[in-house]
Amino acid sequence: MVIVDASVALKWVLQEQDSDRAIALLVSEALAAPDLFWAECANVLWVKARRGQIDRGDANAAFAAIDAAPVSVIPARSLAAAAQAMAFELDQTVYDCLYLAAALASGGVFVTADEAFAKAALAHPVYAASARLL
């Protein structure tokens, strides 16, 4: 199982660097994410619309496409304590660490386009095997 975050999902609907790699994951892997994923995606699209980078209609359509993607839901509540511990170890947000915690709990791998988070996780002797930069 591949755990994806908003940085990957947004590449499914916005033309960005490595969008092709993100789309390849979407069509070839069983995907899952903590339930926070959908709120994060919606928020980023709202920010982009607010800044005039995309229009409101495109933001709504992009979110609808992400929402329709075959991504299984993982409840975040059961991961929160582990994610908080990881956040202290990695000096990264609990929000980002929820995805890594989901990968560890499921025996999967977390794929992110967030270079700073990937660098921190890949440098850790325990978490490196469960994280991958897109």
In CATH, what number is assigned to the domain containing residue 30?
Answer: 3.40.50.1010
- Tell me the mean pLDDT in the region 113-122: 98
Q: Residues 65, 66, 72, 73: is their CA dihedral positive or negative?
A: negative
Instruction: Give the DSSP H/E element, type plus range, for residue 3.
Output: strand 2-4
Q: Cα separation of 64 and 85, whole Å?
A: 33
**Residue 59 falls within a domain, yes or no?**
no
**Residue 65 falls within a domain, yes or no?**
no
**Residue 88 falls within a domain, yes or no?**
yes
**Residue 26 falls within a domain, yes or no?**
yes
Mean pLDDT computed over every residue of the chain: 97
**Residue 99 falls within a domain, yes or no?**
yes
**Residue 50 falls within a domain, yes or no?**
no
Domain of residue 112: give its range: 2-35+71-133
Per-residue model confidence as pLDDT tens digits over 57-112: 999 999 999 999 999 999 999 999 999 999 999 999 999 999 999 999 999 999 99
**Residue 52 falls within a domain, yes or no?**
no
- Tell me the mean pLDDT in the region 18-22: 97
Count up the domains in the chain and report the number. 1
- Tell me the mean pLDDT in the region 41-58: 98
- Other CB atoms within a 10 A radius of the CB of residue 47 amount to 12
**Residue 120 falls within a domain, yes or no?**
yes
The predicted pLDDT at position 133 comes to 97
Confidence of residue 16 (pLDDT cuts 50, 70, 90): very high
Instruction: Give the DSSP H/E element, type plus range, for residue 63.
Output: helix 56-68
pTM: 0.94
